[in-house]
Chains A and B, each alone.
Chain A
């Protein structure tokens, strides 16, 4: 069941132009596909900043705390042994592992966060397989308008996209 309309544009400039056109026409539910992370396009779509960094920070801090606690628990609490006359609880020595674990888990958070928020880890989405769409990862920019968009009208929207300089306009057959 088709739910969106796709239009291919030759360049950054073209798609930006198209986006402005659509927005003037009151379209809200639009999305772009591009071969590289273009600030310009993102700016045109003007989306809020990603929240991912905050999540990463939180995870990292928790991991670090956990690492320190674990070290204290094992070395200073469960089986305190004297080595080289050092006290069982020896913060100086615990710092490094604490730090490394903080880094490690922020790393995980960043990576898996992207996969999650970016809806990745899948082979099939709504747009793959649309004729010509594979240019989206090479050199073309694709604009997507959702059919759920209040301003959407099959004919007019196609027209608008074409007028904005689309090389082609496609309607992918429904995503699973």
Chain B
């Protein structure tokens, strides 16, 4: 029911002075009043002994602040959503952001954007929270004292040509920035730009150069791949184009019936990843072993029959099977290597793809979207700083003091630089050691552009006027290029004047509305591997302990550490929140004589860190996986002191893993906050799974878990207007995007580490993960678990005050303001999806954060139960529009937040009489089942059993 609009300027221009409230709101963001009201209610009723809801309302009286003038597209109370893009390490993902009266509240994917197709990852969902972070820097600082931004920029713009000017920033793909960089170089000759991210992809381009003679970006077409072999590539979870690839892979993967065809996935990786949980043959391998596997695979596909020597039998079998599958499906298979793997592995993989005829069919190559992929990086900058060539250093966003390898001793280097300026959203570790600080605008406050992974130019437009005295990257760089009053909007319009020239403004507005400029994807290049270097010799793996450095699925490289939603997001396989652990395999844990929460010390040369252990079946032996991005010492109270900073032992190169490393049990222990403690189904058929062959033989294997059960209760749902949800577990990677989406949509509070340890997390939607262990193999089944909206709901009949009961359209309704908090419903809920407000979690919500609250969802006060509502606010809103227009609800008109976010589209929701829609057709499939069906609760959420497609040859 939200309408997409183009240019936001008129809306923004009409705002009165105070930017923290969105003015013109005919009900100003009233969470505060709501909360006070709840309290007053409490007090009033408490004293009175009886009271009515209206009873305690008279003071404080709400004020109404109508706009002075209304832009035509804005109707107070009706949300609008606008297209923009979020950029992570240079790659843009198109988003639609929903706003209420110029107040962004919720992020969705942009269906028209090639890197999103309407879906999102956790980072995108959570980014709206960063916008309202009360600890964002509010103005520029000069040596710690506030100063004026415009004067600062003017001074920068008026600087004489400088020598020894360096920039350090995340990898960039913005065409506009490219122009500005050129302008800077022109104005300040000899200026150098170093692009660096802790999760650098330099080795990817290096690998391409080895293979093809020049840096290229591989474009994978998973929709056409019957067989995928992944060498440490979490392509559905942790790669620049993951959102798109997850969707593509799922298309080829999902079974539509017992007879259907599904792709097969071979995957070798140190620790289970989201992608790993879908793998048919998951081979736990230490990072260093990946190279060997790559080499073995290469020689195998090239026809070498003799198995390469230094592989274990299991690895050999895996390689052989993969090779034969790849070979037998020429042009319908592909191999992909993890970004962090060394260049040589990438080169080898290109060679393999060449050998199996993937290149040109399932893999295409384009110029990288990234600027200067093999240009200057941190090492170059470091040596320049070392040799004192750097006079002025401008660091944008990236946080080297925190992330740089300990060998560099970056703080010391920084001290050598006469003039340092840091631009970032917070006063983080690096900012504190630079003499100038400029606040960086949130992307929802900025004008800009960037390229998607496939090169499509995505536009970034602001959704709210700048909350603080800040600049965007483009404006900052423009200032160095001599622009005295850099204005993002102007810069972008100038840059795209010619794109829009043909039809002028209208086209421009169309592009803005679309969020992406059509047909700007980079063209495929004609390449053939081996043109460059011969297949390189790969270094072997030692037998000593390795530490594998992973990006955190929650806080990435640490840049999202200030985001409490992400901090409290359970990690796909360990379910750990608020921190990182030393993840090891059971065998290794036995070898070290440690268990969960025992602290171990990881020693690499002179450097060491202490972390609590987490034992994860399916992990590679003699290898410890640690997540980056924790243990921040600055950057807001949420980020600081959570987890352990493992950058302190991370080697400069290869950055992916460290070896040899000593692992010593210190004897200490440290609490980890995980949301799931038992991962074994105990023989209860809760999360069903089967192999494709078995499914073909017995399609009805879940029959006992669906269909009617005898009941002496009458049938209630006489009308056929009923809502339902279907979830296909075979394409659920456990990425948890849905969890954050739900949190953003439904004003779900965070409870902090102690809260999680006390089992009081509030997520309405959680992802239960079960590990089915058979020998070396571990099958991971992710089961998104939310309110099942049972037709015969056990929670309902035990509520003494009707705070939860059933709607005629089949929703299990939860009425917060009626709830008195007996918690009987939670006890009686077999799925344990109900959450309770043990304290007043929303009481101290900062004013800025309150702006994020979804105005259509009540903010819960203390002492009430809450749970998934199937996003009833969206349902009712759509119904009202339909009623107004005197029509039926159309298929697809209502989507729940989790459904919208899910990259693979595993969650489907809709009306059960809309035949032809996924939600209806899927639940007709034979592998559909209801969890705990035998209880007779008649859940409205149907699950589809997970089907795997192992290679018959590999049955062991």
Interface of A toward B, CB cutoff 8 Å: 81-87
Contact = CB atoms under 8 A, between A and B. Distances in A.
Nearest to A83: B796
Interface stretch (B217-225, B798-806, B844-852): B798-806
A86 B805 contact: no
Contacts of A84: 792-797, 806
A86 B797 contact: yes
A83 B806 contact: yes
B639 to A, nearest CB: 45
B799 A82 contact: no
B640 interface: no
Contacts of A85: 711, 713-714, 716, 791-793, 806, 938
Interface in B829-864: none
Interface string B253-286: 0000000000000000000000000000000000
Pairs of residues from A and B, 3 with the lowest C-beta to C-beta distance, nearest first: A84-B797, A85-B792, A83-B796
Contacts of A81: 802, 805-806
Interface in B296-315: none
Interface string B794-827: 1111010010111010000000000000000000
Interface string B711-732: 1011010000000000000000
Contacts of B808: 82
A86 B711 CA distance: 11
B311 to A, nearest CB: 58
A83 B716 contact: no
Given A84-B794, A84-B796, A87-B713, 18 more contacts: A81-B802, A81-B805, A82-B716, A82-B796, A82-B805, A83-B796, A83-B799, A83-B805, A84-B795, A84-B797, A85-B711, A85-B713, A85-B714, A85-B793, A85-B806, A85-B938, A86-B713, A86-B797
Contacts, number: 36
A87 to B, nearest CB: 6
A81 B818 CA distance: 14
B802 A83 contact: yes
Contacts of A87: 713-714
A86 B802 CA distance: 13
Interface of B: 711, 713-714, 716, 791-797, 799, 802, 804-806, 808, 938
A112 B21 CA distance: 64
A87 B806 CA distance: 12
Contact of A82 (B711, B795, B806): B806
A56 to B, nearest CB: 30
A81 B796 CA distance: 10
A146 B627 CA distance: 101
A86 B805 CA distance: 11
Nearest to A90: B797
Nearest to A87: B714
28 contacts: A81-B802, A81-B805, A81-B806, A82-B716, A82-B796, A82-B805, A82-B808, A83-B793, A83-B796, A83-B797, A83-B799, A83-B802, A83-B804, A83-B806, A84-B792, A84-B793, A84-B794, A84-B795, A85-B711, A85-B713, A85-B714, A85-B716, A85-B806, A85-B938, A86-B713, A86-B797, A87-B713, A87-B714
Contacts of A83: 793, 796-797, 799, 802, 804-806
A91 to B, nearest CB: 13
B217 to A, nearest CB: 56
B824 to A, nearest CB: 12
B395 to A, nearest CB: 60
A87 B795 CA distance: 16
A29 B543 CA distance: 114
Contacts of B791: 85
A82 B795 CA distance: 12
A113 to B, nearest CB: 30
A89 B843 CA distance: 41
A81 B813 CA distance: 11
Identify the interface centre among A82, A85, A86: most chain B CB within 10 Å of its CB.
Answer: A85
A175 to B, nearest CB: 43
Contacts of B716: 82, 85
A82 B716 CA distance: 8
Contacts of B795: 84
A51 B40 CA distance: 53
Contacts of A86: 713, 797
A76 to B, nearest CB: 13
Nearest to B714: A87
A73 to B, nearest CB: 15
A85 B807 CA distance: 11
A40 B578 CA distance: 82
A142 B711 CA distance: 69
A86 B799 CA distance: 13
Nearest to B713: A85
B353 to A, nearest CB: 57
Nearest to A81: B805
A85 B709 CA distance: 14
B917 to A, nearest CB: 26
B831 to A, nearest CB: 15
Contacts of B792: 84-85
A59 B837 CA distance: 44
